[in-house]
Amino acid sequence: MNETFSTLVKELQAIVGERNATDDLAICTSYSRDQHWHFVPAKNPACIVRPGTKEEVRTVLMLANTHKIPVIPYSTGINVRGLTIPVHDGSILLDLSRMNRILEINPDMKTATVEPGVTFGMLQEQTRKYKLRPAFPDAPLTVSVLVNYYLRGIYQTSATDGHDHTISYEMILPNGETLKTGSRALSEMPYFRYGVGPDFAGMFCAHPGTCGVVTELTAKLYRLYDNRKEYFIGFDDVGTPTKFIYNLMNDELAASIRLVDNQSWLKGIFGTFDYPYEKLPKFVLCVLVEGVDGVFEAKDKLVRAYMKECGGQIQELPAEFASTFEHESLGGAEKSCMVFGIKGRGNYHCIGLYGPLTLAAKYYEVHEKTALEVGIPQDHVHFYIDPIYSFHGQLCYFELDIFYDGGDLKFGEKLRNYNEKQFHRLLELGIYGWFRPYAGIIEPTAERIGYLAEVWKKFLHVLDPNEIMNRGKLF
Amino acid sequence: MELEREEVLSAIHHCVKCKLCSIASFHPNEEWLPLCPSGEYYGYQAFYAPGKMEIFRAILEGEITEPSEGLLHSIYACTVCGACYEKCKQITSVELGAPDLFEAMRHEMASKGWILDVHTSIADKIEETKNAYGEKYEYNVNAETTDGDADVLYYIGCTARYRVPEIADAMLGIFDKLGLKYQVMGEEWCCGSVLFRTGQVEAARELVAHNIEEIKRSGAKTVVFTCPGCMKTFEKDYPDMGVELLHSTQFLTRQGNMNLKKEDLKAAYHDPCHLGRDLGIYEEPRAVLREVADIKEMKREREQAWCCGSGGGVKSAFDDFALWSATERLKEAKEAGAEALVSACPFCKRNLKEAAEKEELEVYDVVELVNRCLEG
Q: A341 and B51: CB-CB below 8 Å?
A: no
Test the A interface: residue of B40, B91, B94, B116 with most A CBs within 10 Å: B91
C-alpha–C-alpha distance, residues B208 and B189, integer Å: 9
**Chain A residues touching residue B22 (CB < 8 angstroms):** 142
Please name the residues between 71 and 90 in chain B that touch chain A, using a CB distance below 8 Å. Answer: 71, 74-75
Q: A26 and B45: CB-CB below 8 Å?
A: no
**Chain A residues touching residue B108 (CB < 8 angstroms):** none
As for how many domains chain B has, the answer is 3
C-alpha–C-alpha distance, residues A301 and A254, integer Å: 11
Are residues B208 and B156 part of one domain? yes
B181-B186-B188 Cα angle (round to 5): 105
**Which pLDDT score is estimated for A370?**
98
Q: B54 and A128: CB-CB below 8 Å?
A: no
Q: A26 and B30: CB-CB below 8 Å?
A: no
> Who contacts A158 (Cβ-Cβ below 8 Å, separation ≥6)?
A135, A136, A222, A255, A256, A288, A329, A330
Domain extent, residue B318, equals: 266-373
The answer to whether residue B137 is domain-embedded is no
Test the A interface: residue of B27, B74, B75 with most A CBs within 10 Å: B27
**Which pLDDT score is estimated for B139?**
59
CA distance B125 to chain A (A): 30
C-alpha–C-alpha distance, residues B38 and B34, integer Å: 10
Q: A407 and B51: CB-CB below 8 Å?
A: no
Q: Is A268 exposed, middle or buried (0-12, 13-18, 19+ CB in 10 A)?
A: buried
CA distance A122 to chain B (A): 6
Of A34, A78, A341, the CB nearest to B93: A341
Q: A50 and B43: CB-CB below 8 Å?
A: yes
**Which pLDDT score is estimated for B1?**
53
Question: With contact defined as beta carbons under 8 Å apart, do A23 and A10 qualify?
Answer: no
**Which pLDDT score is estimated for A298?**
98
C-alpha–C-alpha distance, residues B369 and A297, integer Å: 56
**Which pLDDT score is estimated for B140?**
58
**Chain A residues touching residue B23 (CB < 8 angstroms):** 121, 142
**Please, where in chain A does CATH 3.40.462.10 lie?**
227-434
Q: What letter does residue B260 receive in the DSSP assignment?
A: B
Q: B58 and A119: CB-CB below 8 Å?
A: no
Please name the residues between 31 and 60 in chain B that touch chain A, using a CB distance below 8 Å. Answer: 31-32, 43-46, 50-52, 54-55, 57-58
C-alpha–C-alpha distance, residues A325 and A333, integer Å: 9
Backbone angles phi, psi at B40, to 5 degrees: -65, -40
Rounded to a whole number of angstroms, the distance between the first and last alpha carbons of chain B is: 44
User: What CATH number has the domain bearing residue B61?
Assistant: 1.10.1060
> Who contacts A175 (Cβ-Cβ below 8 Å, separation ≥6)?
A62, A65
Q: B66 and A25: CB-CB below 8 Å?
A: yes
Q: B46 and A97: CB-CB below 8 Å?
A: no
Sheet harboring A47-49: ordered strands across?
Answer: A21-22, A47-49, A92-95, A71-74
CA distance B134 to chain A (A): 32
The answer to whether residue B187 is domain-embedded is yes
User: What CATH number has the domain bearing residue B278?
Assistant: 3.40.50
The answer to whether residue B259 is domain-embedded is no
The answer to whether residue B141 is domain-embedded is no
Q: B27 and A140: CB-CB below 8 Å?
A: no
**Chain B residues touching residue A50 (CB < 8 angstroms):** 43-44
Q: Is B22 on the interface with A (CB under 8 A)?
A: yes
> Who contacts B348 (Cβ-Cβ below 8 Å, separation ≥6)?
B270, B272, B308, B310
Q: Taking the CB of residue B67, how many other CB atoms lie within 10 A of it? A: 17
> The whole model's pTM is what?
0.96
**Which pLDDT score is estimated for B141?**
62
Element (H, E) at B62: none
C-alpha–C-alpha distance, residues A139 and B32, integer Å: 16
Name which of A166, A161, A183 is nearest A217 in CA terms. Answer: A166
Can you say whether residue B293 is alpha, beta or left, with left for phi > 0 and alpha for psi between -120 and 50 degrees? beta
Q: Which residue of B has its CA nearest to A26?
A: B71
**Chain B residues touching residue A25 (CB < 8 angstroms):** 64, 66, 68, 70-71
C-alpha–C-alpha distance, residues B126 and B132, integer Å: 5
**Chain B residues touching residue A79 (CB < 8 angstroms):** 18
Are residues B228 and B163 part of one domain? yes
C-alpha–C-alpha distance, residues B14 and A406, integer Å: 5
Pairing mode of beta strands B152-155, A395-405: unpaired
Q: A327 and B28: CB-CB below 8 Å?
A: yes
The answer to whether residue B131 is domain-embedded is no
Name which of A76, A82, A85 is nearest A137 in CA terms. Answer: A76
**Please, where in chain A does CATH 3.30.465.10 lie?**
102-223
Q: B14 and A347: CB-CB below 8 Å?
A: yes
Q: B14 and A128: CB-CB below 8 Å?
A: no
Test the B interface: residue of A24, A128, A129, A336 with most B CBs within 10 Å: A24
Of B13, B22, B32, the CB nearest to A407: B13
Test the A interface: residue of B8, B38, B54 with most A CBs within 10 Å: B54
CA distance A217 to chain B (A): 21
Q: Taking the CB of residue A3, how many other CB atoms lie within 10 A of it? A: 7
C-alpha–C-alpha distance, residues A275 and A265, integer Å: 13
Please name the residues between 92 and 121 in chain B that touch chain A, using a CB distance below 8 Å. Answer: 92-95
CB pairs under 8 A between A and B: 156
Are residues B276 and B243 part of one domain? no
C-alpha–C-alpha distance, residues A217 and A219, integer Å: 6
Q: A406 and B13: CB-CB below 8 Å?
A: yes
CA distance A181 to chain B (A): 30
**Which pLDDT score is estimated for B2?**
67
Q: Is B63 on the interface with A (CB under 8 A)?
A: yes
C-alpha–C-alpha distance, residues A206 and A435, integer Å: 9
C-alpha–C-alpha distance, residues B165 and B5, integer Å: 42
Of B27, B58, B91, the CB nearest to A331: B27
**Chain B residues touching residue A129 (CB < 8 angstroms):** none
Name which of A155, A206, A143 is nearest A473 in CA terms. Answer: A206
User: What CATH number has the domain bearing residue B167?
Assistant: 3.40.50.1860
Tens digit of each residue's pLDDT (9 = 90 or more) over A401-458: 999 988 889 999 999 999 999 999 999 999 999 988 888 899 999 999 999 999 999 9
C-alpha–C-alpha distance, residues A241 and A251, integer Å: 16
CATH number corresponding to A102-223: 3.30.465.10
Q: B46 and A26: CB-CB below 8 Å?
A: yes
Of A24, A35, A140, the CB nearest to B20: A140
What's chain A look like in SS3?
CCHHHHHHHHHHHHHHCHHHEECCHHHHHCCCCCCCCCCCCCCCCCEEECCCCHHHHHHHHHHHHHHCCCEEEECCCCCCCCCCCCCCCCCEEEECCCCCCEEEEECCCCEEEECCCCEHHHHHHHHHHHCEECCCECCECCCEHHHHHHCCCCCECCHHHCCCCEEEEEEECCCCCEEECHHHHCCCCCCCCCCCCCCHHHHHCCCCCCCCEEEEEEEECEECCCEEEEEEEEECCCCCHHHHHHHHHHCCCCCEEEEEECCCHHHHHHCCCCCCHHHCCCEEEEEEEEECCCHHHHHHHHHHHHHHCCCCEECCCCHHHHHHHHHHHHCCECHHHHHHHHHHCEEEEEEEEEEEHHHHHHHHHHHHHHHHHCCCCHHHEEEEEEECCCCHHHEEEEEEEEEEECCCHHHHHHHHHHHHHHHHHHHHHCCCEECCCCCCCHHHHHCCCCHHHHHHHHHHHHHCCCCCECCCCCC
**Which pLDDT score is estimated for A317?**
97
**Chain A residues touching residue B27 (CB < 8 angstroms):** 324, 327-328, 331-332, 334-335
Q: Is B68 on the interface with A (CB under 8 A)?
A: yes
Ordered mean pLDDT values, 10 residues apiece, chain B (376 residues): 84 92 95 98 98 97 97 98 94 85 96 97 96 80 80 96 95 96 94 96 96 96 98 97 98 95 97 98 98 98 98 97 98 97 98 90 97 89
The answer to whether residue B294 is domain-embedded is yes
Residues lower than pLDDT 70 in chain A: 1-2, 153-155, 343-345
The answer to whether residue B72 is domain-embedded is yes
Options 3.20.20.70, 3.40.50.1820, 3.30.930.10, 3.40.462.10; CATH of A227-434: 3.40.462.10
Question: With contact defined as beta carbons under 8 Å apart, do B281 and B353 qualify?
Answer: no
Q: Taking the CB of residue A40, how many other CB atoms lie within 10 A of it? A: 22
Tell me what ipTM this predicted complex has: 0.96
CA torsion sign, A106 to A111 to A116 to A121?
A: positive
The answer to whether residue B317 is domain-embedded is yes
Pairing mode of beta strands B152-155, B183-184: parallel
